[in-house]
Amino acid sequence: MSLLFNQRKSPGANSANPGHRLVMYFIRHLQQALASIGELWRMPISSLLTMAVLGVSLALPTTLHLLMKNGQQLRSGWDSAAEITLFMEEGVSDSQTQKVLRRIGLYEQVNKVTYVGADDALEEFKSLSGFGDALSYLDKNPLPSVILVIPTTQYSSPEGARELLEKLQQQPEIAFGKLDVTWLEKLSAIVNLLDDAALALGILLLLAVALVIANTIRLSILNRREEIEVLKLVGATNDFIRRPFLYTGIWYGLIGGLIAWVCVSLILWWVEGTLLDLASQLGSELTLSGLSFSEFLILIALSSGLGWLGAYGSVMRHVYEIEPENQL
């Protein structure tokens, strides 16, 4: 590509076949990508330290994301557990009870109805409370009969369940109903707050990753000032000069992302042991979900993208500034 001398040809650059030129374009990019790995490898300790900083910075938002994800799964369990307890009036006959049960069962908002008669309730209370024998001194069963209503998922939100409760309480056989949703509301408010805080923290940490890479690339550009000047003197374009730095940024991000993934996997493995312990004591099933494959890909793409972005910022400012001026 000769600008001043039209008759001049540079066969290497001006291959006639456009397909071949495209292939060469990718080969050259690949060469520069590999060359920037070599550049990192020449200073393994400082490169690894930088990557470790990036890895830890990325591990934090990733862990926060996992916390949020697992928290959401737990909460969806609680939401469906919204259960309405209806206490029957005293002295309601069995046939009346059956009618009420049938009526409530027909409500479209109701998923499941369970009847716990006063005698059953007493038995259960005896075995669970530990009062056992003491209760047998009572001459009369103090417990009312209870209907447990589980709303459909559509009505299991705090608002929906409360609406259903109002309706159910109007039945003449029902003394009163109870729905404990205030704690659910408080919990979801707290979780929302934590989600927001985690998001803000995550954004800050991602910004830190971009800035660390920008600064590392800036130092590397200034270290190679002489080389950049020489390249400009022999006719290198800014694109050509900045490409290895952009690739270096991408590598930093990519390897930082991999380190973050390893960190998060270790954290999960560590926490899972104690969690299983806790689960067995609570007698419930708790499982932690880790990073899915697509989330892993997103992490790597995000970290590489941040690497490119940070490097791009530095390159735009510094590679263009450096001009061969002091000599010749």
Partner 1 sequence: MIRFEEVTKIYPGGQQALNRVNFHLQPGEMAFLTGHSGAGKSTLLKLIAMMERPTSGQVFINGHNLNKITKKQVPFARRDIGMIFQNHRLLMDRSVFNNVALPLIIEGYHLSDIKRRVAAALDKVGLLAKINNMPNTLSGGELQRVGIARAIVNKPPLLLADEPTGNLDPHLSMEILKVFEDLNSVGVAVMIATHDLGLIARMKYHTFTLRQGQMIHDGLSSSDLRESEFEPVI
Catalog residues that contact partner 1 under the rule CB under 8 A.
Answer: 1-5, 8, 10-13, 24, 28, 226-227, 229-238, 240, 323-325, 327-328
Taking the least distance from each CB to partner 1, the nearer of 39 and 83 is: 39
Taking the least distance from each CB to partner 1, the nearer of 182 and 327 is: 327
Contacts of 157 (CB under 8 A, 6+ apart): 79, 82
With H, G, I as helix, E, B as strand and everything else as coil, classify residue 146.
Answer: strand
Residue 133's nearest CA partner among 146, 122, 117, 121 is: 122
User: Which residue type, as a one-letter code, is found at position 7?
Assistant: Q
Rounded Cα–Cα distance for residues 82 and 151 (Å): 7
Q: For the CB of residue 31, give the shortest distance to partner 1 in the complex, in Å.
A: 9
Pairing of the two strands 146-151 and 84-88? antiparallel
Q: For the CB of residue 8, give the shortest distance to partner 1 in the complex, in Å.
A: 7
Sole residue written with tokens 């259903």: 164
- Residue 28: Cβ within 10 Å count: 12
Q: For the CB of residue 216, give the shortest distance to partner 1 in the complex, in Å.
A: 19
Q: For the CB of residue 328, give the shortest distance to partner 1 in the complex, in Å.
A: 5
Taking the least distance from each CB to partner 1, the nearer of 173 and 229 is: 229
Annotate 218-230 with DSSP letters as a single string. Answer: HHHHHHTHHHHHH
Taking the least distance from each CB to partner 1, the nearer of 236 and 267 is: 236
Rounded Cα–Cα distance for residues 165 and 110 (Å): 11
Taking the least distance from each CB to partner 1, the nearer of 4 and 106 is: 4
Q: For the CB of residue 6, give the shortest distance to partner 1 in the complex, in Å.
A: 8
Q: For the CB of residue 47, give the shortest distance to partner 1 in the complex, in Å.
A: 17
Rounded Cα–Cα distance for residues 164 and 282 (Å): 31
Q: For the CB of residue 34, give the shortest distance to partner 1 in the complex, in Å.
A: 14
Taking the least distance from each CB to partner 1, the nearer of 218 and 224 is: 224
Residue 146's nearest CA partner among 109, 103, 177, 168 is: 177
Taking the least distance from each CB to partner 1, the nearer of 305 and 324 is: 324
Contacts of 227 (CB under 8 A, 6+ apart): none
